[in-house]
A and B are shown apart, each in its own frame.
Chain A
Amino acid sequence: MLARAVPLVLLVAAGAYLILALRLPFGAAARPGAGFYPVIVAAFALVVALAATASAFRGAPGAEIPAAELDVAARRRVTISVVALLAFCLALPWVGYPAAAFVFVAVVLRYLGARWTTALLTGAASSAGSYGLFAVLLDVPLPRGPW
């Protein structure tokens, strides 16, 4: 299932990229325009995607993707980490770095198996420490948030 879906996605993506590339000024071989090289790349991508699709549907050896089985707990740990990363990016402009970093570290640590106290303490320490290092010492304009 996955082994066939991936090449199909690639094929669609390569096609879309080609359509966008064709809209750019192509120029001529002696005076290549902005679209010249993207069209070549798109053609290459299409050929590769077609080859991948063909090999997946023929069931050529090696086309089957070795899906390593994960247990439920491991899958949950990875999912939580990814969700936390996305939430951090979404929340950063609104709540500011210190708050976002604190919640991020505490939640991820807790779900990776730390005790609540450890998670909260590490969250506070790492949020304050990294803010001090980057925003105060290195002058990175990390958003402070509404407080």
Chain B
Amino acid sequence: MGPLEGLAYGFSIALLPSNLFACFVGVLVGTIVGVLPGIGPVGAMALLLPSTFAMHPATALIMLAGIYYGAMYGGSTTSILVNVPGEAGSVVTLLDGYQMTRKGRAGAALTISAVGSFVAGTVGVVGIMLAAGWLADVAIQFGPPEYFAITLGGILLLSRLSGGSILNAFVMVALGLALGTVGMDSISALRRFTFGSVQLAQGVDLVPVIMGVYGVAEVLLLAEEGIAKTQIAGVKLRELLPTPEEWRRSSMPIARGSVVGFLTGLVPGPAAVLSTFISYTVEKKMSRTPEKFGTGMIEGVAGPEAANNGATAGAMVPLLSLGIPFSPATAILLGALVVHGLQPGPLLISQRPEVFWGFVASMYIGNLMLLILNLPLVGVFVTVLRMPQHVLATLVLLLCLVGAFSLSNSFLDLWVLVLFGVFGYALRKLRVDPSPMVVALVLGPMMEKTLRQALFLTRGSVVDLVARPLSATILVLAAAALLGPPIVRLLRGRRLAKPISHASNP
């Protein structure tokens, strides 16, 4: 099926009433959790995952992905109006977005950010259509050695990019990999690290871990503050229209942000967050007045807001064509597909076209819904912010508890939830990013399986394993990304250190 044919078919799936409804629920929930600071899209996706078990896989994917990209729209609203990021992908937006609010241009900032998100979302969907198909064609030739290289390279890259020290990231990776080995060995059916527990033989389920680390932990942070009142700037409907000058200045940043975002999404790492920083830096460099950034420049809103939406689209490519999630959010989407017995990978597009194309088409529809939801109705979502935070925090905790239990009606999942909630809270206090652990927990079992299959194929030769052209390329690229920056810094540091040491020892 060609891209256009596929898309037409996809629309026939996405426009089914049940899928339209799922899409609407997804983007609505996404917008709300995006608007609310403290509760992010990943936690919300984990919470709603059990409710998708009874749905068709395409419907489940449409709804959960809607939460993910919907949150990118909602997050900017809070950044712009309250000077608090609604979610991590909107941190950069508040630099210039809130300054625009102070200058009375909140409406313009909101409109530009919604339109930018819409453009990037649409560009991203075209990107998925082209890239995923192409990558799937390439990936059909991949064997276990290549998949091993991709998972290993992905984990290494993610540790590099997740922010904070690489040592901390490696600690998280080690923990995730070790957790991934708990349970029945997939090849020999031997029980590992279960200490005799029958429930542990199933392994540590990803979802209560994610709910804990991204749901409970965030709520515990909210609980620190107790009752807090937020100051919200009001916006009138007729103030929403940007001036022709503002439109003109935003067009190129939106275009650049869309591309930057999509490309960042393809790479393992916290793509949505990272892409906004990259886009902001790019816009500042391209600007004739970089010194004015941070004082309410529309370019600083347009670029990053487009970028984070492009990134959510880009992140779907490795998931759909390789079956490999590089972020906690896509790990949940993978989980949703696996529950239905689907194995995302190069064959997904040809074997289950209704899932792939239905999902792609739903992203067009979802982005259109979001544009409508976020512009005229922005006032409605702002009232969500007026909901008392302590009530919200408590109810989210209760939902996490019920949600974790309903996954497999197991008390063990409840304990995992609470344990990882407290752990995630501690990590936030220590400023350590938990996402390498989550991704390693998902990729670990894949890595083990492919490693053992690959060694079996190469009769135990590690050289043959890594010397195949594709796996060697992937590993070299990952190593370069991992070791490149510290080496460059070291070399630069030496050059810089000399004059400094002269200055300090006259």
Contacts and interface: CB of A to CB of B under 8 A. Distances in A.
Given A20-B193, A25-B190, A41 B220 contact: no
A30 B456 contact: yes
Contacts of A28: 460
A21 B165 CA distance: 28
A70 B165 CA distance: 24
A14 to B, nearest CB: 7
Contact of B165 (A25, A62, A101): A62
Interface string A1-44: 00000100010001001001100110011111111111001101
Nearest to B401: A88
Contact of A89 (B391, B411, B429): B411
B178 interface: yes
Nearest to B412: A89
Interface in B390-412: 390-391, 393-395, 397-399, 401-402, 405-406, 409, 411
Contacts of B223: 77-78, 81, 108, 112
A126 B396 CA distance: 11
The 7 A-B residue pairs with the shortest CB-CB distance in the complex, in nearest-first order: A29-B460, A30-B460, A112-B390, A45-B174, A34-B185, A37-B448, A113-B227
Contacts of B173: 48
Contact of B394 (A35, A74, A89, A108): A108
Interface stretch (B5-13, B22-30, B359-367, B413-421): B413-421
Is chain B's binding surface mostly helix, strand, loop or mixed?
Answer: helix
B451 interface: yes
Interface string A75-114: 0011001100110110011000100010011001100111
Contacts of B406: 134, 138, 140, 142
A60 to B, nearest CB: 9
Given A34-B190, A49-B171, A78-B224, A68 B429 contact: yes
Interface residues of B, number: 60
Nearest to B219: A81
Question: Of residues B225, B401, B431, B459, which shows the largest number of chain A Cβ atoms within 10 Å of its Cβ?
Answer: B401
Given A74-B226, A92-B414, A82 B390 contact: no
Interface string A35-76: 111100110110011011001000000100111101001100
Interface of B: 51, 165, 167, 170-171, 173-175, 177-178, 181, 185, 187-188, 190, 192-193, 216, 219-220, 223-227, 388, 390-391, 393-395, 397-399, 401-402, 405-406, 409, 411, 414-415, 418, 421-422, 425, 429-431, 444, 447-448, 451-452, 455-456, 459-462
Interface of A: 6, 10, 14, 17, 20-21, 24-25, 28-38, 41-42, 44-45, 48-49, 51-52, 55, 62, 65-68, 70, 73-74, 77-78, 81-82, 85-86, 88-89, 92-93, 97, 101, 104-105, 108-109, 112-114, 122, 126, 130, 134, 138, 140-142
Contact of B226 (A24, A34, A36, A112): A112
Contacts of B430: 6, 65-66
A89 B171 contact: no
A141 B407 CA distance: 11
Contact of B397 (A32, A85, A92): A85
A122 B448 CA distance: 47
Nearest to B177: A41
A38 B390 contact: no
A128 B433 CA distance: 36
A105 B455 contact: no
Contact of B452 (A37, A48, A88, A92): A37
Given A82-B422, A134-B406, A104 B398 contact: yes
A8 to B, nearest CB: 13
A20 to B, nearest CB: 6
Contacts of A37: 181, 447-448, 451-452
Given A33-B188, A35-B192, A38-B178, 16 more contacts: A10-B171, A21-B181, A37-B451, A37-B452, A41-B181, A44-B170, A48-B173, A81-B223, A85-B421, A101-B398, A113-B226, A113-B390, A114-B391, A122-B395, A138-B406, A142-B402
A48 B171 contact: yes
Nearest to A51: B167
Contact of B174 (A41, A66, A104, A126): A41
Nearest to B388: A114
Contacts of A108: 223, 393-394, 397
Contacts of B461: 29
Given A81-B220, A142-B405, A89 B415 contact: yes
A130 B401 CA distance: 11
Contacts of A88: 401, 414
B415 A126 contact: no
Nearest to A74: B224
Contacts of A101: 398, 401-402
Given A89-B415, A108-B397, A142-B402, A44 B174 contact: yes
A114 B391 CA distance: 8
B391 A109 contact: yes
A35 B421 CA distance: 30
B390 A89 contact: no
A30 B461 CA distance: 7
Given A30-B459, A78-B220, A101-B398, A138 B51 contact: yes
B37 to A, nearest CB: 16
